[in-house]
Each structure stands twice: as C-alpha cells, then as structure tokens.
Structure 1
Amino acid sequence: MDPVRNPFAPGAGAQPPELAGRDELRRDVEIALERIRRGRPAKSVMLVGLRGVGKTVLLDRLRDDAEADGIYTLRVEAPEDRSLPALLAPPLRLALLRLSRTERAREAAVRGLRALAGFVGKLKVTFHDIEVGLDFEPEPGLADNGDLELDLLALIEQAGLAARAAGTALGLFIDELQYVPEPQLAALVTALHRASQRQLPVMLVAAGLPQLRAQLGQAKSYAERMFDFATIGPLPPEAARQAIVRPIEGEGERIDDDAVERIVELTEGYAYFLQTWGSHAWDAAQCSPITLADVDKATVTARAELDDGFFRVRFDRCTPKERRYLRAMAELGAGPHRSGDIADCLGEKVTSLAPVRSALIRKGMVWSPAHGDTAFTVPMFDQFMRRIMPGQDWR
C-alpha cells in the first residue's frame, strides 16, 4: 500500500480523517453557543476523559465549528508552568482587536483593550510571565485592582459587552485545564458566572483529565452547576469501526471485516490507538484488502511506536519512586485500585506513599475516581509498565 496515501493521523491533537461518534456533542455545543449569542442562558462545556480519547481533536473541531458560525474564539493550552493570565491576555487582545473593526462594537472593544492594559499592568507584579502588546492606555479603576478574581471578572465582562455589541459571542477554548492552579481556576469560574448573570455572550469550552470535575468543585462550590460535563471515552464499537473503514474506503481501498474487528479489540476503541493501528496496518499491507495477517504484523510496530512515544514520554517524567508506584498499580491490573492494595503490593504504609500519589496526580499520571481509589489517566498504561519494567526487580 502506498505510504503517501496513508489516511490515518496518529499525532498529538492531529485531526483524524473521520471524527466518528462525536456528532451529537458537536450539535449540543453549537446550540449552546447560538443560545448565548442570542442572550439566552446556556452552560459552558467541559470535555473530560483519559489521555488518548481525542479530547484535543474534538476541542479543535468544536472551535472550527464555532468560527464557521461566526463566533469569535480564542484557543489556549494550559501547561504546568504558565499562569492563566499569561495564557489569556494575548488571545483576548487579538479577539478584542478583531471586534474593534466592527463599527458598532468599536467603543466597547476599545474599552475592553483599556481593561486589558490595566489587567496586565497590575497583575504583571504577581504573574511575571505575562507578555502582551498593549494598544491603549489603561482606564483608571477598570480591571486594575491587582486582584486576579476582580480584574479577570472585569476584563471578561468588557469582552462580553464588545461581543454583544457586535452581535456575536466569545468562545474560550482551553485545553489541559486541569493544570490551572486552583485560585486561578476560581477566578475564571467567577468571571464566567458574572458573565452568565449579566447574560453576556461568553462561553467556555474546555478539555481536561477526569480530575477536572473535582478541581472545579473545590475552586468554587457552585461550579458544577455552571458546566455541562461531557465524558469523552473510547468510541463504541460501530463508531470505532467507522473510524477505520471510512478513511480506507475514502482512498478507494478495502479492509477485511475480521481485520477491523481485531483493531477494535486491540485498541479498545480509544481514538489515538485507532489511528496508530490503522496507520501501521495500512503500511504493513502489500495490497488491498488489508487482512487480519496485516493487522497482526502491524500490532508489533504499533506497540513499539506507542512504547517509544505516547507511553514513554509520560514514563520519563516520573521519579524512580513514582515508577515503582505505577508498576505496583500495573501489577494489580488496569484499575482503579485501592490505595491500601497498592501499598500492600509495595510492602509500605499508605501514609508513606501519599506524597508519591499526590505527585503523580499533579503530573496527570493518575487520578482518583473515588475516595481512596487510584486509576491511570492513560489507557493501557498498565500493559506498558509491565513491558518496560518486567519481572520482579522493580520491587
């Protein structure tokens, strides 16, 4: 099979050729954005799920849908070492500049840019990583208190007023929201709450790991009532099959039914793994149709690629103690597991392992689906841990 025509896209956040099984959610977000544009109430949306389920891909597609509908958007990713003000300031500036080109929104957008100047000027003392060009002088008393919660509220409010004046809405699309520190997350929730109370057309669509739900609740007690949480999991079997079959057929080629079933079984329907197996199966096949033997051959190279990239990059971020903890979890299976069972596997006390567990949660390696439970945030990571740390020497 011609590798140049390989239709699959197993990259981080790369758009797949077939976004299967997400149409209903895309429609729900489209309706919510249109409601807030018309001044009607609608909840912001949180996409929560494990690594590799396609949250980033879906977030970008939702943003593309919004832009196509005339919604003004900004898109940021929240890494572990950047502040929320530093992330939001540059794209908010660009959104306000775009809005200022609309005659009826110019006055409100310029005031928003003045609010941004005050916001940056005062908060740069606290958040040293804020770097953004300023187009207007600040307006005294507007978003310049030096208090993140008050100033972000005022800034988002002004941006919402500008969007309303332009007859549009402002969509904030934020990936990896779980990395935003709790006080900054609380400030964002407060700003969105105020915008909702004033029926301003501002909406957040964010993606994050499963612990995001609890983090929002801890940041603000009313947060869970403000958001619709969409759990993004593995694709159901039929959608998983479509994600494999349709790209291949789109290239005028075929794949045998038993080969498709094997890919769905091996990947458990996880979007990233489907793209990886599909790509390797295409390259392994000499001609159409792709057969079960081709998939079996591809499985060796697909797993090697995942081990060297998708899994390994996360493993390398962990300390030796954290790796032992993860290996003990893998010894118990896919999980989730009780903290006591993990401690027993390591021959240690739960209390002595608490700092290790907390560090792994902060790194996004594990999460707690229930009190005292621990689960991997990466699908099939237990299998990888058994491959990379075989035998019993890890003990």
Structure 2
Amino acid sequence: MDPVRNPFAPGAGSQPPALAGREAIIEDARIAIERAVLCKPSRSQMFLGLRGVGKTVLLNAVEALANQRGHVTSMIEAPENKSLGEQLLPRMHQVLRKLSVAANAKAKTYDALRALRSFASAFKLEYGDVSIAVDPEVGVADSGDLENDLPELFVRIGEAAKAAGKAWTLLIDEVQYLSEKDLAALIVSLHKINQARLPVLFFGAGLPQVAALSGQAKSYAERLFHYPEVGALPEDDAKAAIRQPVNDEGAVIDDAALKEIFLKTRGYPYFLQEWGHQSWNLAVGDTITVSDARRAESTTLKRLDEGFFKVRFDRLTPKEREYVIAMAKLGSGPYRSSDVADALGETPQSLGPRRAQIINKGMIYSPSHGDIAFTVPMFNDYLIRNLSILG
C-alpha cells in the first residue's frame, strides 16, 4: 500500500485517526465544559493510566473541545525540575490578556493582573522579557506560601472569566511529577474555585499512583476529582481503532489480521498504532492480511525496542536497571517487593531507596501495599527479549 496514505502515525501524544473506546470519557468532559460556562460546578478530572494508553491524546481532545465551547485554555506538562508556579505564571498572564478584550471583564482582569504581579514578586518568578505592567496588590497572593497564594490567584482569574462570559480550563500532563507541595496547592485552589462557583475547570493526566498522591496531599481530593481509568482497549474497540482508519482510506483489513494485532498488542493504543502502521506498509494491493500483520511483528518490535522502551530504560542508573531486570525475570507482574529483594539477595529495607528512585522516575508504581508493577505496558517482555544486550 502507498505509505503516503498510511493513516497511522504513532508518536508521543499524536492524535490517532480514531479515538475508539474513549467516548464516555470525552462525553463526561463535554458536559463538565458546558456546565463551567454556566458557572455550574463539576468535578475536575484526572486521567490515570500506564504509558502509551493515550492520556495525552485525551488531554489534547479535551482542550480542543473546551476551545470550541468558549473556554480559554492552558496546557502544561509538569516537569521534574520546575515549580508549578513557574510553569503557570506565563499561562495565567496569557489567559488574562485574552480575557481583557471583553469590555465587561476589564475591571476584573485588572484586579487579577495585580494579583498575578504580587504572586510573581513573592515567588521571585520571571516571565522572559515580558513584564506584567500593573502595580502589585498588597496583601493578595503575596505571602510566599503557594497553598495560600495560588487559590487567591485562581479566584481572581475565575472572577475575570465569569465577567467575560468565558471559562478557563487548565490541563496538566504528567501530574505525578508535581511535588507534594505543588499538588496540594493545586488541589486547594480547585476546591476554592468550586466553593465560589467560578468557571474554572481542571483536567490532569498521570500514572496510576496520582490518585494516592492526591489523597496524601489533601484528604478531600477523592471528592474533588473524577479519576477515569485509561487502559488497554477492549477487543471490539481495539479492532475499530485499526479498521476504521484503514477503511477511511478505501482499503480493507481482514478479521484474522485484526485478531492477530489485538493479541500481540493486548489492546494498548500506542502499540496498536505502531502495528497498524507497519502492517499497512507491508501490505500489497488494498487488503491487509493476517500474513502482513505477522510479518509486521519484527519491524514493530524493533521500533518499540529502540524508541518507546529504550528511552525509558536509558533513564535508569546501573543499579536501577539491575532492579527492573530482576522484576522482569519474575514474570509478568505485579511483583512483591520482597520477591525482588530475594532475587537480588538483599532485604526490602535496603532496596527501599532504590525502589523509591525508580518510582520517582515514573518507571514503576505500587498498585497495592507491598506490590510493584511497571508503568510501561509489556516492559517486562522488552527486558527479557533484550536480556543479552541489557543485562
């Protein structure tokens, strides 16, 4: 088949040609977005799942939905070495500039800009070469305590959005990388917004441990957020995610090929896209056959090993690599921390710091007390497949 017409373009956060199996999540987001414009409170949402399941894709889809319905949006990716305030400052300034064009919002926008200037000064934050050209408001968002100041700032922005007849949607990817202090301040801010019935909405995405991290930061977080689970697609949805794009290009994929791709990918969206991409390029004529899907395996695994898997493995130190390889040798997981310790000839206590570092790097998480699992689907298969090279 013509590679130029290949509908599959797997990449980090790339929009797949069909968002199969996520309709309920998108519909819940739509309702929340439309309620926000009417100043009717809705729970913020935190998409949780392993790597490669399409959390970022969902955030992008929600952002587009919010823009279509009159929201001003801000999207950030939480980094491992930057504060939330530093990330939010330019986005909040941009939001207020957009809201300031509404005649009814000029006074409220001005108040919010003054609060933002106070916030930037209190935390010694810089915004490139652009200055916030208003005087700070003494006593507002200037204590230097993020948990006190950020909620005041969110309220001012919410009041400006309400005056403009708009809403502000904040979207944060990789929430697990927020510090506990930053996450607590964000939760308190969203709680304050809900209490004030202001048109501010939040959507986040992160690894499965985010629900526990949120609860640790603030006990009422479980009542503040919905936590939609974003996982592997059921068989029918996984097949639709491949079949529909192929059909849209005037081509066909037979049922046996769809079955083969589903079994090999276990329904994980990123793997589906990669397998579909390679199968298309190998097919002759206008039909992808089971033979094409099987021949695609070696190329697909090579691309996944050299990209999706390796980039994550390379972040680990030699000792951390030793730990995850020991996990993989135990099977598919989840794994008992004590079993990994036994395999390495050490105690769980002595391995605690190493385990914590691997969790902090987003490579593993604890689905239940004493258990650990990979955050990357099929990562154990990758490690065993490449053991002679990696170990």
The alignment's TM-score, normalised by the length of structure 1, stands at 0.96
User: Deviations 1:344-372 (Å, cap 9, x if unpaired)?
Assistant: 12221111111111000000000000011
- Structure 2 counterpart of 1:23, one-letter code: E
The equivalent of 2:168 in structure 1 is 170
Q: How does 1:215-230 map to 2 (within 5 A)?
A: 215-230=213-228
Aligned residues: 390
Which segments of 5 or more consecutive residues in structure 1 lack a partner in the other structure?
A: none
The equivalent of 1:98 in structure 2 is 98
Q: Does 1:345 align with 2:343?
A: yes
The equivalent of 1:114 in structure 2 is 114
The equivalent of 2:51 in structure 1 is 51
Contact 1:82 1:129 in 2 (8 A): no
Q: Does 1:302 align with 2:305?
A: no
Q: Does 1:264 align with 2:262?
A: yes
User: Deviations 1:120-158 (Å, cap 9, x if unpaired)?
Assistant: 11101xxx6764642322122221121111111111010
Contact 1:76 1:87 in 2 (8 A): yes
Q: Aligned partners of 1:137, 1:251: CA distance in 2, in Å?
A: 57
Q: How does 1:245-394 map to 2 (within 5 A)?
A: 245-390=243-388, 394=391
Contact 1:18 1:243 in 2 (8 A): yes
Contact 2:336 2:371 in 1 (8 A): yes
- Structure 2 counterpart of 1:79, one-letter code: P
The equivalent of 2:79 in structure 1 is 79
Q: Aligned partners of 2:3, 2:349: CA distance in 1, in Å?
A: 52
Structure 1 residues 106, 80: closer, same or farther in 2, change over 3 A? same
- Partner SS, residue 163 of structure 1: helix
- Structure 2 counterpart of 1:122, one-letter code: A
- Structure 1 counterpart of 2:78, one-letter code: A
144, 147, 157: which one aligns with 2:145: 147
Contact 2:33 2:69 in 1 (8 A): no
- Partner SS, residue 73 of structure 1: strand
Q: How does 1:188-203 map to 2 (within 5 A)?
A: 188-203=186-201
Structure 1 residue 208: Cα displacement:
0.3
Q: Aligned partners of 1:219, 1:130: CA distance in 2, in Å?
A: 28
Q: Aligned partners of 2:77, 2:134: CA distance in 1, in Å?
A: 27
User: Deviations 1:163-204 (Å, cap 9, x if unpaired)?
Assistant: 111122111111001100001110111111111111111111
Q: Aligned partners of 1:227, 1:311: CA distance in 2, in Å?
A: 31
Contact 1:152 1:188 in 2 (8 A): yes
- Structure 2 counterpart of 1:327, one-letter code: I
Contact 1:334 1:382 in 2 (8 A): yes
- Partner SS, residue 252 of structure 2: coil
- Partner SS, residue 317 of structure 1: coil
- Structure 1 counterpart of 2:98, one-letter code: R
Structure 1 residue 389: Cα displacement:
1.8
- Partner SS, residue 230 of structure 1: coil
Which segments of 5 or more consecutive residues in structure 2 lack a partner in the other structure?
A: none
> For the aligned residues, what is the CA RMSD?
1.3
The equivalent of 1:21 in structure 2 is 21
Structure 1 residue 41: Cα displacement:
2.3
Report the identity percentage. 50
Contact 2:120 2:126 in 1 (8 A): no
- Partner SS, residue 380 of structure 2: helix
- Partner SS, residue 74 of structure 1: strand
- Partner SS, residue 85 of structure 1: helix
Q: Aligned partners of 1:284, 1:25: CA distance in 2, in Å?
A: 34
Contact 1:85 1:130 in 2 (8 A): no
Name the stretch that deviates more: 336-345 or 366-375: 336-345
Structure 1 residues 355, 157: closer, same or farther in 2, change over 3 A? same
Q: Aligned partners of 1:309, 1:237: CA distance in 2, in Å?
A: 26
Contact 1:47 1:55 in 2 (8 A): yes
- Partner SS, residue 288 of structure 2: coil
Q: Aligned partners of 2:352, 2:137: CA distance in 1, in Å?
A: 48
Contact 1:211 1:367 in 2 (8 A): yes
Contact 1:36 1:202 in 2 (8 A): yes
Contact 1:330 1:382 in 2 (8 A): yes
- Structure 1 counterpart of 2:356, one-letter code: S
Q: Aligned partners of 1:369, 1:57: CA distance in 2, in Å?
A: 24
